[in-house]
Amino acid sequence: MHRQRQRGFTLVELLVVIAIIGILIALLLPAVQAAREAARRSQCTNNLKQLALAFHNYHDVYQIFPLPGMLANHLGWTSSILAFIEQKSIFDEIDWRAVPDYTTFVNRNMRHSTVKIGPYLCPSGRTMQTQFSAENYNNVLAFTIHYYGILGPMGTNPINNQPYRCRNLTQTFGGECDQGILWQFSSRFADIVDGTSNTFLLAELSWSPMTKYRAWIRGKFQDSRGVLYLLSKNVQFPLNSRNETIWNGIAFGSEHPGGANFALADGSVRFVSETIDWGTYLSIASKDGSETLQNF
Amino acid sequence: MLLILSQRTFLTFVCFATGIGLLITTGCGGKTDPRKYPIWGTVTYQGKPVPAGTVMLEPDVAKGNSGPAVALKIRNGKYDSRREGLGHIGGPHKVRITGLSGEASGDEFFPEGTPLFPEWQTSVDLPKGPSEQNFEVPATWIRP
């Protein structure tokens, strides 16, 4: 009597099949991840575009861009433009009165920051909330923001070799530069003499880990260590260098491979490479440096 | 015998497929970042290593150099571009150094410490190749 032939697969056959499936998945996975990141990046670009349009509409109404921050009430441009990004309900709730100190500001307005404002966040970023646990309301952490204004470039104008105008650089918070659009007193279109297509309006700052993400409602702060701008930054470190040593000069950057998104003052959004020429980077950050620009 | 042979062919197949897979995913193209020359060294201030901070190298336009800048982190008095997978483009550079005390300020603001000194600048002509550059911030360079 002979043995019945066993039905089914041998161990080797099974292993081969599993290995082939594994390899196929391994080949597919990076492509799927890249497609997902591409979708997030396009959402990220779109958010920045919405903000640039909101800035334009704000300018149409008030003939000047919003202030980066106000010491009187600690608020900044994120509050000013709310009515132009379909968030009028929050805009109406914000308490605009001057505050005697930071604690009063927190009590009056921190609760608004627990609302997630879609256009303020880049989906590719990994940190969506404040990195300071005290910024909460009823134990709900405040949301942060991934798009910032530019106080101005720091360094040397590559055309005339003059230093860009900056002040109080010895302050602990790092001082402030004056030649960007969102500098201390903000700008009108007429101030952008380099041309709106050659000047950054907003820049992406969405890299992680970064310890200095704060509630989006906070605009400006001051104590014995100087003035801190929470919604506008100096351009003093390279794009994607992931540098946060100077509070007012945290490096712009993102989780997208190779660069970050920037909105120009004409309302267009560009993906700028992290290997951009340093002089060109400073030139685009300034609104009135009379630099001639190469392609960027 | 047959089992051993099939295991061997199986292993060969797996190795082959993995190799092809790696080639497809990584590709043959290299990085296009021109910042390829490694640099490392020490940063001291008042005789002591700077606990944290930045060595920033920007091409000196006044001396005819241009290209992307690079910022390198200082850790315990040392910086090393190889640690960050970066480099510089070579040629004349302006060097801007910031140093932090390394002691947290106790509030929300400065987990790595407050600036030890105002940003200090110098210039250096970097070789188009690996190099060690040590910087000593003058002891007289103090915050007001």
Instruction: Count interface pairs A-B at CB distance under 8 A.
Output: 92
| Residues A150-172: tens digit of each pLDDT | 999 999 999 989 999 999 999 99
| Residues B56-91: tens digit of each pLDDT | 999 999 999 999 999 999 999 999 999 989 999 999
Q: DSSP label at B85?
A: T
Q: Are A149 and A68 in contact (CB under 8 A)?
A: yes
Closest CA to A50 of A79, A78, A84, A83: A84
Note the pLDDT of residue B3.
Answer: 52
> In the structure encoding, which two tokens stand for residue A13, read together?
């056959």
Cα–Cα distance measured from residue A144 to residue A146, given in angstroms and rounded to the nearest whole number: 7
Q: Are A202 and A48 in contact (CB under 8 A)?
A: yes
Cβ–Cβ contact A168 with B under 8 A:
no
Of A6-20, B19-33, B34-48, where does mean pLDDT reach its minimum? B19-33
User: Facing residues of A261 across strands?
Assistant: A271
Helical (H) or strand (E) element with B82 = none
Binning pLDDT at 50, 70 and 90, where does residue A290 land? confident
Cα–Cα distance measured from residue A56 to residue B73, given in angstroms and rounded to the nearest whole number: 38
Of A43-47, A133-137, A272-276, B23-27, where does mean pLDDT reach its minimum? B23-27
Cβ–Cβ contact B24 with A under 8 A:
yes
Cα–Cα distance measured from residue A91 to residue B127, given in angstroms and rounded to the nearest whole number: 56
Q: How far is CA A41 from CA A175, A177, B41, B114, in A?
A: 32, 30, 37, 35
Q: Which of B7, B69, B70 sits opposite A12 (nearest CB)?
A: B7
Cα–Cα distance measured from residue A116 to residue A127, given in angstroms and rounded to the nearest whole number: 13
CA–chain centroid gap for A118, Å, is: 13
Q: Are B38 and B81 in contact (CB under 8 A)?
A: yes
Cross-chain Cβ contact B109/A225 below 8 Å: yes
**Chain A 56-85, CB below 8 Å of chain B: which residues?**
none
Long-range contacts of A124-130 (CB under 8 A, 24+ apart): A124/A37, A124/A40, A124/A41, A124/A44, A124/A206, A124/A254, A124/A255, A124/A256, A125/A206, A125/A207, A125/A208, A125/A254, A125/A255, A126/A208, A126/A255, A127/A206, A127/A208, A127/A209, A127/A210, A127/A213, A129/A213, A130/A213, A130/A214, A130/A215
Cα–Cα distance measured from residue B65 to residue B133, given in angstroms and rounded to the nearest whole number: 19
Compute and round to an integer the Cα radius of gyration of chain A.
24
Q: What is the ipTM of this complex?
A: 0.83
| Residues A238-277: tens digit of each pLDDT | 999 999 999 999 999 999 999 999 999 999 999 999 999 9
Q: Are B126 and B39 in contact (CB under 8 A)?
A: yes
Cross-chain Cβ contact A275/B114 below 8 Å: no
**Chain A 204-223, CB below 8 Å of chain B: which residues?**
211
Please give the mean pLDDT across all residues of chain B.
Answer: 86
pLDDT (average), residues A43-56: 97
Q: Are A246 and A233 in contact (CB under 8 A)?
A: no
Cα–Cα distance measured from residue A173 to residue A246, given in angstroms and rounded to the nearest whole number: 6
Cross-chain Cβ contact B114/A27 below 8 Å: no
Helix, strand, or coil (residue A254): coil
Note the pLDDT of residue A9.
Answer: 86
Cα–Cα distance measured from residue A148 to residue A262, given in angstroms and rounded to the nearest whole number: 10
Helical (H) or strand (E) element with A13 = helix A11-62
Binning pLDDT at 50, 70 and 90, where does residue A147 land? very high
Collect all residues with Cβ–Cβ distance below 8 Å to A250 and sequence separation of at least 6. Answer: A205, A210, A212, A233, A237, A243, A244
B27 or B89, which is more confident:
B89
Cα–Cα distance measured from residue B99 to residue A157, given in angstroms and rounded to the nearest whole number: 24
Cross-chain Cβ contact A27/B111 below 8 Å: no
**What does the DSSP assignment read for B64-80?**
T--S--EEEEEETTEEE
Helical (H) or strand (E) element with A182 = none
Give per-residue burial for A70-89: e unless 16+ CB within 10 Å, then b.
Answer: beebbbbbbbbbbbbbebee
Angle at A192 between CA A188 and CA A194, to 5 degrees: 175
Separation in Å, CA of A149 to nearest CA in chain B:
20
Binning pLDDT at 50, 70 and 90, where does residue B29 land? very low
Cβ–Cβ contact B68 with A under 8 A:
yes
Separation in Å, CA of A268 to nearest CA in chain B:
23
The phi and psi torsions of B20 (rounded to 5 degrees) equal -60, -45
Percent of chain A past pLDDT 70, that is, above it, reads 98
Cα–Cα distance measured from residue A236 to residue A250, given in angstroms and rounded to the nearest whole number: 8
Instruction: Please check the confidence at residue B50 and state whether its pLDDT lies above 70.
Output: yes
Cross-chain Cβ contact B94/A156 below 8 Å: yes
The pTM of this model reads 0.88
